[in-house]
Copies of this chain bind each other. A is one copy, B any other.
Amino acid sequence: MMLEDILRQVQTGELSVEEAKERLKPFDRLGFANVDLHRPKRQGFPEVVFGEGKTADQIIAIVRTLKEHHDRVLVTRVTQDKAAAVRALFPELVYHDAARLLYWKKEQAKTKETDAYIAVICAGTSDLGVAEEAAITAEMFDCEVRRFYDVGVAGIHRLFHHIEAIRAATVSIVVAGMEGALPSVVSGLVSHPVIAVPTSVGYGAHFQGLSALLTMLNSCAPGISVVNIDNGFGGGYSAALIHRLACQKG
């Protein structure tokens, strides 16, 4: 019931002033008349819980509540121990230990509407955890994902093996540690947006990912935007938002 309706009912006497005031309480107290300050719920978007710094008990309590009202749950940065404790009660949750993700999606008759997919690209084993965090996050948002985990700037021919499949994606998530140069090279070869995710993999003057972060921010190839170090979740989330834009209209 919108403001106009309420006013009209007050006019006609259907509503007393007190009742109208009660109904307008959101106006009164918060001013949320037509403007919903809440971020609109997006269909198919999971409730996401930041697991770091929460105890297993706290996570269990949150998961229990979420599962009652939602069709999927995603908990990030969960250690193996906590995951085990949660899964003892909710064995239907899946745990990916490299990605440190704990997640669950209600089975559903998924009708594939589109061939579009997100490309998740990284150089190899060391960055795999963050890449999986990005990939699974995007999948939890019902995005199709293709993984390209065997490429890296020091052996650039491996990237070219897959370049056509990568080009066909709607958006690329490029995960890289060490010198972090991969997003620049990829972005020079594709024509879609690139989300760059620096990782803390490296040592010495790598400064826990600072070097890779700076490389990506300073890329001479435009079309790259960057998320925080090791923030696979953020990369997956941003890519999913972009991917949806591309699909919604299709």
For the complex, is A88 an interface residue (Cβ under 8 Å from B)?
A: no
| Contact residues of A between 210 and 233, Cβ < 8 Å to B | 210-231, 233
Q: Which residue of B lies closest to A245 (CB)?
A: B246
Q: Which of A65-73, A78-86, A142-150, A157-165 faces chain B? A: A157-165
Given the interface pairs A29-B33, A31-B27, A33-B28, the reply to whether A156 lies near B188 with Cβ below 8 Å is yes
Q: Are B11 and A154 in contact (CB under 8 A)?
A: no
For the complex, is A1 an interface residue (Cβ under 8 Å from B)?
A: no
Interface string of A1-38 (1 = CB under 8 A from B): 00110011011010011001100101111111111011
Q: Are B39 and A35 in contact (CB under 8 A)?
A: no
Q: Which of B50, B163, B193, B227 contacts A35 (CB 8 A)?
A: B163
For the complex, is A205 an interface residue (Cβ under 8 Å from B)?
A: yes
Q: Which of the listed residues A33, A126, A228 has the most CB atoms from chain B within 10 Å of its own CB?
A: A228
| Contact residues of A between 51 and 73, Cβ < 8 Å to B | 52-54, 58
Q: Are B29 and A37 in contact (CB under 8 A)?
A: no
Q: Are A178 and B220 in contact (CB under 8 A)?
A: yes
What's the nearest-Cβ distance from chain B to residue A30, in Å?
5
Expressed in whole angstroms, the Cα–Cα distance for A195 and B54 within the complex equals 26
Q: Are B245 and A230 in contact (CB under 8 A)?
A: no
Given the interface pairs A157-B37, A217-B227, A227-B226, the reply to whether A3 lies near B30 with Cβ below 8 Å is no
Q: Are B39 and A34 in contact (CB under 8 A)?
A: no
Q: Are A230 and B211 in contact (CB under 8 A)?
A: no
Expressed in whole angstroms, the Cα–Cα distance for A241 and B193 within the complex equals 6
For the complex, is A153 an interface residue (Cβ under 8 Å from B)?
A: yes
Q: Are A205 and B229 in contact (CB under 8 A)?
A: yes
A selection of 29 A-B contacts at a CB cut-off of 8 Å is A7-B17, A10-B10, A11-B11, A24-B33, A30-B157, A30-B161, A31-B34, A34-B164, A35-B164, A37-B160, A39-B154, A39-B155, A179-B216, A179-B220, A191-B241, A193-B238, A193-B245, A203-B229, A205-B218, A205-B228, A211-B217, A214-B214, A222-B233, A222-B238, A223-B241, A225-B238, A242-B242, A245-B246, A249-B249
Q: Supply 6 further A-B pairs (C-beta < 8 A) apart from A214-B214, A222-B234.
A: A30-B161, A33-B33, A38-B155, A179-B218, A215-B215, A225-B227
